Structure 1
Amino acid sequence: MDNLLILGVNTRPVVNSAKKLDYNIFSSSYFTTLDFPEGICEKHILNEEIDSTCGSFQENFSSQKLLENGKEYLDDADLIVLTSGISSDDFKGEYKKYQKKIIGNKSTKDVGDKYRFYQKISNKFLTPISFLVSEIDEFCEILKEYDDSQFIVKPNQGSGGYNTLLLNYDMFIEDNHMKILIENMINSLGEILLQEYISGINISSSVLSSYSDAKTIINTRLLSLNDLGYSGDYKYCGNILPLDIKSLQVLNNYTIAHDEIGVKNLNTDVSKLSEEVIKECKLIGSNGVDLILSDDSEDDILNNDLYLIEVNPRFQGTYECVEKILSINLLEEHINACNGQLIEEINPKGHGIKEIIYAPHRLKQGNLNIEGLFDISKEGTIIEKDEPLVTIIKESNNVKKGLKEINKLKEEINSNIYPVN
């Protein structure tokens, strides 16, 4: 029986899949939660203690810490699977020799670096205009040149919506606080990405690929906090899947016609584009493609342009919803794809909704061991404002009904959290 090591920010979903397969399982993660599977050899970076703060994820996490945390497992591992927060390119120095054990992409530098990715694909696919900026004067000059446009500012690598700002030239000139934020980002990161803002619906594709072929297994409506009414906050917070009229119609300020043929054509276009991108980037296994369906024409949004935003060369946040809706073991299909065998039949059933709940203020967590909630921290720990609190995952045949049930769960969450100074 092979030893399988799973590395990532939150390995719980993939560990659950691995338990259904024939492996000895090991895990190195940042988080470990009350609902983490029992009987697993695991180490985690964040140690939760009653009446103690969990701190800031961004300040306390790094891929190198993740490798150091799981160092004792690396030699014994026969196979390594990577989830969010780490890539094969992070295996440097003393860890480089373990790259060969990774089931999946051996190099992701062409997609992990967003500007490098833009340079690679911008002449082949429709993409937002992008600039890599390392000086505040250069930043200002670009905004001035495109003074009639809005731009998204974000880190050139990583993100998940963290440190993402929407602005234009006038906002930058008039808002001194904005200038300071941008200067701090440049000083901290060394360089930032300035990307044309495309207004529309965020879409994500889950693609399985071998060295010779790629297959989109499902398209989804991707959610940021901005979609849920937190204007200007673009942190990733979930998905609604599959992509259909029901998932497109909710949370919009414009109407989408009941056009089944139009949505079918949209799915075909999204799937084909995503497969072409994955093959162009020579990625294998389970990968995600993020796009935006522009809302330039609100009268006929299904015929609007699809913009390619980025590729995530790893398992996506939709992991558990995909497994439930398609009745598959996604880890198993990832391994099969890396070995040249792509899944054949795909039969989605119902809808899956995922929403990550972030702490609205600094709080002490009560008892959140409630059905439908996942990634539950220890009771009595302190969660800082804007840090992830808990995940809601809901299956439903009716999207609106599912969202109502999620709102009820939010009420239960709110009654079990307590503000602290």
Structure 2
Amino acid sequence: MQNILAIGFDTRNIVCSASRAGYTVCSIDAFRDLDLQECAYASALLECRTSGELRQLDPGWIVAKMNGFGLDFDAIVPGSGMEMLDPSRFPCPVLASSPEAVKEASNKLHLAKRLEAMGMPHPRCYSSNEPEAIEYPVILKPATGGGGIFNRVANNRQEMLEVLEELSGPDQGLTENEIVIQQFLEGTPSSVSVLSTKDEALAVAVNEQLTGIPWLSRLPFAYCGNITPFITEYAEEMEKLAEELILELGLLGSCGVDFLVTEQGPVVLEVNPRFQGSLDTVEKAMGINLFEAHAGCFRGELPEKPKAKLFAARGVLYSDRELFIDRKLMEVILREKSADIPPQKTVIEPDWPLTSLFEFASTREEAIKSLEGGAERIKTFIAERITGEAESLSPAGEA
């Protein structure tokens, strides 16, 4: 196996991991980041912005793009948003779990029922058809995907109805059946990265999740990155729960289980039946190539359990305004330990990811401090530029 197609909403981390492992990789994704293009043999733009658009993507269009790359592909690896590719529609194997297993694992309502049957701790789910049964506060979120940007908390029935109206409006376009109403719990967001064959599962890392970090995003539940490893007394318990759950769901390859570590212990939130956003930090901290390990799962092979060598941190910096990426802003981003670098002449929408920052250190505190410094330098440059532009347009500036 040599020639790989990675396809999904954002494939940079998959493409670069596969490239480091020695594969020839082509990509179809919605960003075509600068560093993706440097790692890929070739790439194409996926002009989709919602999970609904991704689900409706014509397989024939994908095959035509594959033919245009001029390679004979040995496998397709789906990323975010493309987990349910039908393998029967493509001329080469799809290295992913079956669409049926992915559908059940991805849907938070179906997962809650499975967790209940398995006796695993999880937030209670409510139906909007039984308002008298709901105990507030609750969190409302898309049943599948979302990255946290659509999550909303409601403290009473009126707030819940307002959130339902917002999420089902023209901007988000979710139906009531696509919205989960879930018990809201306090705790530390975290995840376990798992590799799985048909018969075995191996937890390779426990990760702290950065969500709604004010110096990275103004969205209260947006996914803002990871720190690997996450040092917690519950790490071993979380690994066992994650391995058991992934095997029970019949998932294959690289998968993730999201947890909330509460005062009472870990609670399972959701399952990601695909490569996760923690790929970079897991690889750096644990000294493993996750793409190679993922491919090995489909041969029935699991690696040795790795041990953490350092703390690896990723911070996803969101833009708080519409931004045009010109040469000067690009240079500022490139001065940092950055990835997911938008190409010049790209327009970044408000509350969309601008770039990812990285730090590798001997302590968590050192890594976080470095990330915050990098984010501040980029934001300061943007703010000073905006201020300068405003002054140049003022009457005094014109004079």
The two structures have a TM-score, normalised by structure 2, of 0.84
- 2:250 maps to which of 282, 286, 290: 282
- 2:240 maps to which of 272, 282, 289: 272
Q: Does 1:7 align with 2:7?
A: yes
5+ unaligned residues in a row in structure 1: which ranges?
A: 47-55, 245-262, 296-303
Amino acid at match of 1:145: A
Q: Counterpart in 2 of 1:83?
A: 79
Q: Counterpart in 2 of 1:196?
A: 183
- Judge which range, 60-69 or 19-28, deviates more: 60-69
| Superposition pairs of residues 255-334 of structure 1, within 5 angstroms | 263-264=232-233, 266-295=234-263, 304-334=264-294
Please list the CA deviations of residues 324-344 of structure 1 after superposition, one character each: whole Å capped at 9, or x if unmatched.
111111100111122111111
Cα distance 1:282–1:227, how it changes in 2: closer, same or farther (>3 A)? farther
Q: Does 1:369 align with 2:357?
A: no
**1-side partners of 2:349 and 2:219: how far apart?**
20
1:194 positional shift: 0.6
Amino acid at match of 2:116: S
1:396 positional shift: 0.9
Count of residues in Structure 1 that have an aligned counterpart in Structure 2: 371
CA contact (8 A) 1:9 1:29 kept: yes
CA contact (8 A) 1:394 1:402 kept: yes
Cα distance 1:273–1:178, how it changes in 2: closer, same or farther (>3 A)? closer
Amino acid at match of 1:409: G
Q: Counterpart in 1 of 2:358?
A: 393
1:416 positional shift: 3.6
Q: Counterpart in 2 of 1:181?
A: 166
CA contact (8 A) 1:29 1:66 kept: no
1:392 positional shift: 0.7
Secondary structure of 1:158's aligned partner: coil
Cα distance 1:232–1:26, how it changes in 2: closer, same or farther (>3 A)? closer
1:205 positional shift: 0.2
Q: Counterpart in 2 of 1:251?
A: none
Cα distance 1:154–1:27, how it changes in 2: closer, same or farther (>3 A)? same
CA contact (8 A) 2:217 2:351 kept: no
Q: Counterpart in 1 of 2:28?
A: 28
Please list the CA deviations of residues 293-329 of structure 1 after superposition, one character each: whole Å capped at 9, or x if unmatched.
113xxxxxxxx23211111000110101111111111
Amino acid at match of 1:44: L
Cα distance 1:270–1:59, how it changes in 2: closer, same or farther (>3 A)? closer
CA contact (8 A) 1:99 1:106 kept: no
Q: Counterpart in 2 of 1:411?
A: 376
- 2:126 maps to which of 128, 131, 145: 131
**2-side partners of 1:410 and 1:24: how far apart?**
33
Amino acid at match of 1:341: E
Cα distance 1:58–1:357, how it changes in 2: closer, same or farther (>3 A)? farther
CA contact (8 A) 1:28 1:66 kept: no
**2-side partners of 1:363 and 1:70: how far apart?**
30
1:67 positional shift: 5.1
1:184 positional shift: 2.5
Q: Counterpart in 1 of 2:110?
A: 116
CA contact (8 A) 1:129 1:196 kept: yes
Cα distance 1:179–1:82, how it changes in 2: closer, same or farther (>3 A)? closer
Amino acid at match of 2:361: S
CA contact (8 A) 2:152 2:163 kept: no
CA contact (8 A) 1:321 1:352 kept: yes
Please list the CA deviations of residues 371-421 of structure 1 after superposition, one character each: whole Å capped at 9, or x if unmatched.
311111123433221011111111111222222211221122124434499
CA contact (8 A) 1:6 1:81 kept: yes
Q: Counterpart in 2 of 1:149?
A: 136
1:363 positional shift: 2.6
Please list the CA deviations of residues 241-287 of structure 1 after superposition, one character each: whole Å capped at 9, or x if unmatched.
1011xxxxxxxxxxxxxxxxxx34x1111111111111111111110
1:153 positional shift: 0.4
**2-side partners of 1:354 and 1:112: how far apart?**
24
Higher relative contact order (CA 8 A, sep 6+): 1
1:200 positional shift: 0.8
Cα distance 1:22–1:241, how it changes in 2: closer, same or farther (>3 A)? closer
**1-side partners of 2:116 and 2:164: how far apart?**
29
Cα distance 1:322–1:385, how it changes in 2: closer, same or farther (>3 A)? same
Q: Does 1:344 align with 2:332?
A: no
- 1:239 maps to which of 226, 229, 233: 226
**1-side partners of 2:117 and 2:307: how far apart?**
35
Q: Counterpart in 2 of 1:71?
A: 63
**2-side partners of 1:112 and 1:273: how far apart?**
17
**2-side partners of 1:378 and 1:229: how far apart?**
20
Q: Counterpart in 1 of 2:98?
A: 106
